[in-house]
Structure 1
Amino acid sequence: MAATGWPGCANSLKGVILDMCGVLYDSGGEGGDGVAISGSIGAVEKLKASDLQLRFCTNETQATRETFVAKLQRLGFDISVSEVFPPAPAAVAVLKERGLRPHLLVHEGLLPEFDSVDKNNPNCVIIGDAAENFSYQNLNEAFRVLIDLEKPVLLSLGQGRYYKETDGLKLDVGVYMKALEYACDLKGEVIGKPSSMFFQSVLNDMGLQPHEVLMIGDDLLSDVGGAQQCGMKGVQVRTGKYSGTLHCRRMASITAGLSKRTRGAPCNRGGAVTQKVNDGVNFGGLRRHRSRGGGGGADKWSSSSSSSPDTWPTFTAASHVTVLLREKAPFVSQSWEGGRSLG
């Protein structure tokens, strides 16, 4: 029987999708280009030299795709525009298909992506990572547009909670999307990760089936969970926004209530993430187990490397790529600084 778990499934894989911010680089820093994460440039080079197809899937919404790719190229990455899939171009296609005219609450650097769209008399709101443009005035203006519409439409370019820059964690677009949802009593539509439609557009470009592709990301829900809900494999790095303490907290939240369910049955809110957790998948080395002592068999989390989550070793894009290529070609020796394999 063919292996289905990571990394045993490596031999059946034909493609890899990499998240970018927090996986390949950390944004911010002097000059604003960010800093490449150790080993990530070499990991991309090795993947491109292999027989695997490679694409990059990001919720980056502070710049146009061309500007964003140029920044990554300055950092030393061999990446082309056609390989990168951000939410804005997909959002433009949705607007034109549905005849929507957006009020834009986005970063100034992203505005050129919407030059071809009619923005007069808006009948929807698009929200992206607007950074400093997330002022009370701008949020209230978006609220007023939505609340005055008979059928309000809120389109969010991703739904991340936070991301990491070189000076620390920053609130992401999902926080502000939830504020508008609450104020207007509506449910926003997500364009970008973890949307299955968004992931499927990348798979269509690769010409591959979901089970043939591995997603590597730093967000447990948007990257790993979104990929698994689409039928792909998903593994998490411990770079970028990853924090051992926050990771434990989120995993515990995802699996809350599972004691009342059949082991392995997916939770409505957790979806495929809880399914995989129950099946014993190792998320960046973190494993779920049942307590054998008192306390009613409560769920606990542990790592084979340390009892303290903040001292667990870093699993990088480079280390996951090392494992992937080693499993696909055991006779080839691959190594990157700072990497460790799973399992």
Structure 2
Amino acid sequence: MNNIPDREARSERDAPIISLLGVEKNFGTGTAAVTDFNLLIQPGEFLTLLGPSGCGKTTTLRMIAGFEMPTAGRILLRDRDITEVPPYRRPVNTVFQDYALFPHMTVADNVGFGLSVAKISRAEIARRVTEMLALVGLSDKAARKPAALSGGQRQRVALARALIRHPEVLLLDEPLSALDAHLRQQMQDELKQLQARVGITFIMVTHDQTEALAMSDRIVVMNAGRIAQIGTPAALYDRPESPFVASFLGDTNLLPARILGRDAGGLMLACGSARLHVPPSPEIATEATECLVSVRPEQLAIATERPLFQGIVLRSIFHGSTIRAHVDIGADRPLLVDLPRAAEDLAAPGAMLSLTTEARNIRLF
């Protein structure tokens, strides 16, 4: 996959802050951790590398940081080749998964540690530490030790320590994974607001689709060391280009279907007991006779007339604000549908459900 425009055509203003050009990493185990990786990251962007464990996202982050050297390819920072520049000479800082705070130091000393190593004056360190603690809302915790802080507060200390040296790029390696579900949701919003205030490019690694959707300007979905798809959260969610992206980014139904015919308006399909007429799909070759139908559970609704899918409810699962029904439509797996609580009686096991959706919600692979 190559999304690199002609460099001569780019103005200085539009030049990416980070360019990864044909980057590969092989640890000598026979399978490359990262392969043919091409990506342009824009100044001020919040970009997320998303994918399952072992897909190469953390290795990619470590190559940007300088902790790993690429086996092939180049890494540029504002068009300057930094492929072999050591980490301490890159204007890039990293917030690690475990925060890596010094337990014997106060919050203020942790935040100012990098400046003290750089021989900055005590007065300047004190000024910038005060500024950073105010930015992350920890002014009253300067004298505390990390052990006296909550998980969310320790994360803010790690962020302040990384930001105090004014990096051009901040790298975040699974920054919310150590937090409980409620605090993780709160910190998603806080981290996005902080990034907007400081205006620094953030590059985050996560395997959590909710984090990626909530926080990112763009998401790079990775699989087996390669880029599967790049786009805004809405574009990836609404227009996935592969079954992998459709199923990894949110829940979806992936049901086998047979192509019964074609006409000017699209394709006629048999999907279990359903007969569908859907718009043409560029992913489906003209000679194909089989495909996969993808439709998200929340995009299905009770049909009052002309249902697309009909079937018997096998079981229903309470999800708080919604009920997820598993519906037998005669395919090799149940159709999942999310219904409002008000429709709970209609989704009782054994009930017949008639369901519909807009044609644009159906993706074919």
TM-score, reference length from structure 2:
0.29
Q: Give the number of the structure whose alpha-carbon radius of gyration is greater.
A: 2
In terms of fraction of residues, the more helix-rich structure is 1
State the structure with bigger RCO (CA 8 A, min sep 6), 1 or 2: 1
TM-score, reference length from structure 1:
0.30
